[in-house]
Structure 1
Amino acid sequence: MSERNSLSDLDIARQADIRPIGDIAATAGINAEALELYGRYKAKVDPARLDAPAPAGKVVLVSAMSPTPAGEGKSTTTVGLADSLARAGHKVMIALREPSLGPILGMKGGATGGGYSQVLPMDEINLHFTGDFHAVTSANNALMALVDNHIYQGNELNIDPRRMTFKRVLDMNDRSLREVVIGLGGPAQGVPRQDGFDITVASEIMAVFCLATDLADLRDRLGKITFGYTYDRAPVTVADLGVQGALTLLLKEAIKPNLVQTIAGTPALVHGGPFANIAHGCNSLIATQTARRLADIVVTEAGFGADLGAEKYMDIKARLADVAPSAVVVVATVRALKMHGGVAKDKLTAPDLEALLAGVDNLRRHLRNVEKFGVTPVVAINRFATDTQEELDWLLEWCATEGVEAAVADVWGRGGGGDGGDELAAKVAAVLSAPNSFRHLYSLDLPVEEKIMSIVQEIYGADGVDFSVPALKRLADIKKNGWAGLPVCMAKTQYSFSDDASRLGAPKGFTIHVRDLIPKTGAGFIVALTGAVMTMPGLPPVPAAMRMDVDDAGNPVGLS
């Protein structure tokens, strides 16, 4: 491996020639009145002050096969593809989610791409950035403080403390906070009740933040949030409590998209960050639409595999605005395909065409699913140093037999304006120039259980759905309260098409188990909790935080 490729992501980021953010803004066509500087290399963009036309840029959605612990490099591919499209002469902007501290300190170590396909400054983006997640966390917890105070001060709204559906949040993986009891210690400490924490990226306020079209819509959606029920089992909203204005105040600066740059100088908006396994998995709609005002091509991504983030992008985000993708890139790796073919993680470097053959069933299902939305997929084979040419050639030939365009992308080692993604960019550009017939998977007129069945059978390949008794009761409440017309956001393990994380590949003969349904009336969707998926993750046996530090000069160590 060359010295260039032996450097860590953090080493590469430090050596990059980062430009003042004002220069990047000027290149992107952002006028000075719309730019709010956060130091030399970060800024917020105020869409209301932006001197740019209505959104018109075409969207490229980057998704992936089912993720594995071997890593697929979806963000790296997103950045590398955008740099390569810019290198080919297209006016391009990236729209990404903000990283969550939970997985950064837990398993991933960083979420700004990798190698020579990164957004900068990577350490600041990964650690606090411009404070957006703090604002979302504060708004969420302010709501719950106001709710519990209302109950303590006499409970004029008749809120039943036993029927709260909203939790406090923290941007951290902390399993010990999943279930807590608050208000202990006597009457002066509040009204005791069972409570708990979700991770910030699973909060409905994060979803509202990412689906709002502007500040007025943000306030309206915050007011529509249902946080619990009365003793008479009537829903209680933020508007009933009268605090949507205060929550909007806490978010008024955070709602402006954040402008940064790639190593190659491509402008990137990094804004919002819901997970795709427990939330809808897309960056903010405001950022996507702002990017579409500034660029001819917007490269964005949706979290985890195409069964989760991409499906939610199509059926939730693309219903709210004209952001339907004109092309979908599905990232695959030889390593991950071999793991789906039955190879253990510590054996993935050994050539194994037989395992590759077994693993492509997973990729095939994702590709066929993308086509169900009327969009043409392109496979990006994210190259790793251990891949053999024989394996790469086999996978390219397999894609050709499936009738799908594919290209090997070496954007980790040859990105940053290099030629590692040129072939992929050319294939994506060709798809963008061709017509498509985008469509949603299901109609909103269908009953909730039929929407879930459509996703479960058409996308996951399951035989059917098993609703728990609590889920069936919640389903009746949804119908009674007039929420049945909302789309569905499935909360499911990212590692499998099933709700069992151990069933890799393209399993058949299984049932999806829905244990609860949670109406998110502000975000405008219904979350279906399946299997054992948790809305507050835990840390692994050896968290990534164990290798993190700062040197004597204050520079970060261990981010990757």
Structure 2
Amino acid sequence: MKADIEIAREASMKPVLDIAAGLGVDAGHLVPYGHYKAKIGLDYINSLRDRDNGKLVLVTAMSPTPAGEGKTTVAIGLADAMNRLQKRASVCLREPSLGPCFGLKGGAAGGGMSQVVPMEDINLHFTGDMHAIGAAHNLLAAMIDNYIHWGNDRRLDLRRMTWRRVVDINDRQLRQIVTGIGGPANGFPMEAGFDITVASEVMAIFCLARDLQDLQRRLGNIVIGHTREKEPVTAAEVQAPGAMTALLRDALAPNLVQTLENSPAFIHGGPFANIAHGCNSVIATETALKLSDYVVTEAGFGADLGAEKFFNIKCRKSGLVPDVAVIVVTVRALKMHGGVARDALDEEDVTALEAGLENLGRHIRNCGQYGVPLVVAINHFASDSDAEIAAITTYVAQRGLKAHLCTHHRDGGGGALGLAEDVISLADSGRAQFRTLYDDHLSLWEKARTVARAVYGADELDADQKVRDQFAQFEEEGYGHFPVCMAKTQYSFSTDPQQMGAPSNHRVKVRELVLAAGAEFLVVVCGDIMRMPGLPRKPAANNIHVNAQGQIEGLF
């Protein structure tokens, strides 16, 4: 099969004006970025408020492995299959980050015959949203430093600053730095550091804001540090939210592109699910729901991370109600969870696969807690054996669900028709009785403890006294009603990435807390997870170049 980038180059794309017209959107409501990308104007989006919503489908997955699961390709293939069945369907995805694109994971535009295009644009600069988010974040950092330099009327304690800087590249060297050295003209020396842009609170706010006014209000609520008396200081107090909103004004309009089969694709916002809330923007999802009968969206990494945050943060904060959820599995990933080495995955091993099915079983149980009908999608690889596929199908059937073998990577929407028919039936059935995992009135500690026990299968949540005191402090400061955003390794239910399968009898250690007062959640950092990844020994960037024809090679 051809490489993803070759398939994308050969795509028969329609002008984005035609894609919009298929949704009933007039060209006058678009801001085109060339022939195949456009933003939908915010004024037009506001005019859609009174329309009924279509059905919302979440695509999530088992715990990820280096073997790959293909959540994005399933979401794209499912939307294409729905359109082949004469249903008006759109797909809503996150914008790729340059960090994994040049690092280990690669891009996030799908693969094979289930891609969104133009692939190179989407994986690189796209419409500039990532850069706008990074610029707004770092503008606040500069305004804080300037505020301190010219007087510091609020008496911000330089030892209690919590606002870091961001860059959309994996760069471990920037995790911890010192700024302001070189004398009085260069400000005050302070400990600082960089996170990756997708972990920025500005990114979270961007993805949860309902409109420009809500965006500006949330930006003003960002807590940037504390005084010597330990009183919180906000971005509004350094007069930053107006200028930050100005930088984000155009970016807040959702992006419209298409799949290889010309299905509408809304790609907007890009938080990671292991260190942030892992969902595309509320504005994009709501817009798609107003313009489509069915909307397929995905949430990052496994269901213990992305789906949990989709349900407990995005749906809670937006009022979105999902109608059905799809859990993606692969034979290869299940065998890895059963103990098979990566270089032996092409060999049939039903015994290992059956051991790995514990991981899928935990995700099925977890997702069942939210009252949303479930279906399983088996993302097919050429090395999968009939016996291995049968083992998955039987296991899923024993839990009262259907498993569909999907060949969308090879066959596009035609390879996901069975899945699409089942999803449509479930979405239209009215069976969804959506509920969040915990109530707002629970304490912040109990919310994190509930996720650790009910989702991760842990015996207990652990934290030293300093972190416990932080939980209590945030309660006293009025943030107790916030949901929690757990930052944890994506590779395991535990905080140890080597514990595959479905580990139990473990304890989740909380390392630190990060308040996201503007996004209105508390980030609970567990284990050794980093909010600034590093590049691997052999990064993808090593193989990316521009050929003699001016075409980019090496993206995947």
TM-score of the alignment, normalized to the shorter chain, above 0.5: yes
Alignment partner for residue 349 of structure 1, among 346, 349, 372? Answer: 346
Partner of 1:11: 6
State whether structure 2 residue 155 is matched by structure 1 residue 158: yes
Gaps spanning 5+ residues in structure 1: where? 1-5
Counterpart amino acid of 1:505? G
Instruction: Find the partner of 1:506 among 502, 505, 510.
Output: 502
Shift of 1:47: 3.4
Match for residue 387 of structure 1 among 384, 401, 424? 384
Q: Secondary structure at the match of 1:431?
A: helix
Matches within 5 A, 1:351-370: 351-370=348-367
* 1:558 and 2:550 correspond: no
What CA distance in whole angstroms lies between the structure 1 residues aligned with 2:445 and 2:555? Answer: 43
Alignment-derived partner of residue 371 in structure 1: 368
Partner-residue secondary structure (3-state), 1:62:
strand
**Partners of 2:472 and 2:317 in 1: CA distance:** 26
Alignment of 1:187-206 (within 5 A): 187-206=184-203
Q: Which residue of 2 aligns with 1:213?
A: 210
Q: CA-atom RMSD, angstroms?
A: 0.9
**Residue equivalent to 2:40:** 45
Q: 2:132 aligns with which of 129, 135, 140?
A: 135
Q: One-letter code of the match for 2:408?
A: V
Among 537, 540, 543, the residue aligned to 2:536: 540
Q: What per-residue deviation string (whole Å, max 9, x for no partner) do you get for residues 205-231 of structure 1?
A: 000000001111000000111011011
The residue type equivalent to 2:487 in the other structure is: A
Which of 309, 315, 319 does residue 316 from structure 2 map onto? 319
- Provide the C-alpha distance between the structure 2 equivalents of 1:357 and 1:208, rounded to a whole number of angstroms: 41
Letter in 1 for 2:235: V
Q: Distance in 2 between matches of 1:211 and 1:321?
A: 7
Instruction: Map 1:315-464 onto structure 2 (within 5 A).
Output: 315-415=312-412, 417=413, 419-434=414-429, 435-464=431-460
Partner of 1:3: none
Task: Tell me the alpha carbon deviations over residues 135-175 of structure 1, each in whole angstroms, 9 at most, x when there is no partner.
Answer: 00000000000000110111111111111111100001000
Q: Is contact 1:205-1:222 (8 Å) kept?
A: yes
Structure 1 CA distance for aligned equivalents of residues 332 and 368 of structure 2: 24
- Which whole-Å deviations, capped at 9, do the CAs of 1:206-257 have from their partners, x for residues lacking one? 0000000111100000011101101111000011112111100000000000
1:96 paired with 2:93, answer yes
Structure 2 distance, partners of 1:260, 1:541, is 34
- In structure 1, give the amino acid aligned to 2:359: N
Give distance in 1, aligned partners of 2:43 and 2:297: 22
2:523 aligned counterpart, secondary structure: strand
Q: Does the Cα contact within 8 Å between 1:68 and 1:336 map onto a contact in 2?
A: yes
Moved more, 196-205 or 513-522: 513-522
Task: Map Cα deviations across residues 349-397 of structure 1 (whole Å, 9 max, x no partner).
Answer: 1000000110000000001111100011110000011111221122112
Superposition deviation, residue 324 in structure 1: 2.0
**Aligned-partner Cα distance in 2 for 1:98–1:360:** 31
Tell me the alpha carbon deviations over residues 29-86 of structure 1, each in whole angstroms, 9 at most, x when there is no partner: 1122210000011000113224645251111000000000111011001000000011
2:90 is paired with a residue whose SS is strand
What SS does structure 1 have at the residue aligned with 2:63? Answer: coil
Q: 1: CA distance between counterparts of 2:507 and 2:82?
A: 42
Q: CA deviation at 1:321?
A: 2.2
Against the structure 1 CA distance between its residues 320 and 55, is the aligned structure 2 distance closer, same or farther, given a 3 Å change threshold?
farther
Q: Which amino acid is 2:447 matched to?
A: K
Residue ranges of structure 2 left out of the alignment (5+ in a row): none
Corresponding position: 1:282 with 2:283? no
Give, in whole Å, the separation in 2 of the partners of 1:500 and 1:377: 28
Q: Distance in 1 between matches of 2:473 and 2:148?
A: 23
Corresponding position of 1:111: 108
1:495 and 1:188 mapped to 2: Cα distance?
Answer: 46
For 2:213, the aligned partner's letter is: A
| Contact 2:354 2:391 (C-alpha < 8 Å) held by counterparts | no
What residue number does 1:234 align with? 231
| Residues 263-282 of structure 1 mapped to structure 2, 5 A cutoff | 263-282=260-279
Which amino acid in the other structure matches residue 102 of structure 1?
A: G
Q: Using the alignment, how far apart are the partners of 1:451 and 1:154 within structure 2?
A: 40
CA distance in structure 2 between the partners assigned to 1:478 and 1:249 by the alignment: 30
For 1:526, what is the secondary structure of its paired residue? strand
One-letter code aligned to 1:38? Y
| TM-score computed with the length of structure 1 as normaliser | 0.98
SS of match in other structure, 1:513: strand
1:106–1:543 contact (8 Å) kept in structure 2: yes
**Alignment partners' CA distance in 2, 1:336 and 1:437:** 30
- DSSP-derived class of the 1:213 partner: coil
Is 1:251 the counterpart of 2:248? The answer is yes
Percent identity of equivalent pairs: 51
Structure 1 residues 163 and 462: CA distance shift in structure 2, 3 A: same
The separation in 1 between residues aligned to 2:465 and 2:120, in whole angstroms, is: 46
Structure 2 counterpart of 1:174: 171
The one-letter code of the counterpart of 1:497 is: F
Q: Distance in 2 between matches of 1:225 and 1:281?
A: 19
Give the residue type in structure 1 aligned to 2:252: I
Alignment partner of 1:59 out of 31, 56, 60: 56
d(CA) in 1 for partners of 2:464 and 2:77?
Answer: 44
1:420 deviates by 0.3
Task: Look up the match of 1:474.
Answer: 470
- Is residue 94–residue 267 contact of structure 1 (8 Å, CA) maintained in 2? yes
Q: Which residue of 2 aligns with 1:495?
A: 491
- Counterparts in 2 of 1:283-302, with a 5 A limit? 283-302=280-299
Corresponding residue SS for 1:134: helix
One-letter amino acid of the structure 1 residue matched with residue 118 of structure 2: P
Q: What is the CA-CA distance between 1:325 and the residue it aligns to?
A: 1.1
1:159-207 Cα distance to aligned partner (Å, 9 max, x none):
1111111110000100000000000011111100000000000000000
SS of the residue corresponding to residue 420 of structure 1 reads: helix
Is 1:68 aligned to 2:60, yes or no?
Answer: no
Amino acid corresponding to residue 326 of structure 1 in structure 2: D
CA distance, structure 2, for counterparts of residue 282 and residue 159 of structure 1: 33
Within 2, Cα distance between the matches of 1:436 and 1:200? 35
* Aligned counterpart for 1:149 among listed residues 146, 151, 163: 146
CA contact (8 A) 1:470 1:515 kept: no
- Would you say the 8 A contact 1:33–1:49 is kept in 2? no
CA distance in 1, matches of 2:224, 2:204: 14
- Any idea what SS the aligned residue of 2:132 has? helix
| Structure 2: distance between partners of 1:329 and 1:476 | 37
Question: Please, which of 499, 515, 518 is the counterpart of residue 519 of structure 1?
Answer: 515
TM-score (norm: length of structure 2): 0.98
Q: Which amino acid aligns with 2:191?
A: Q
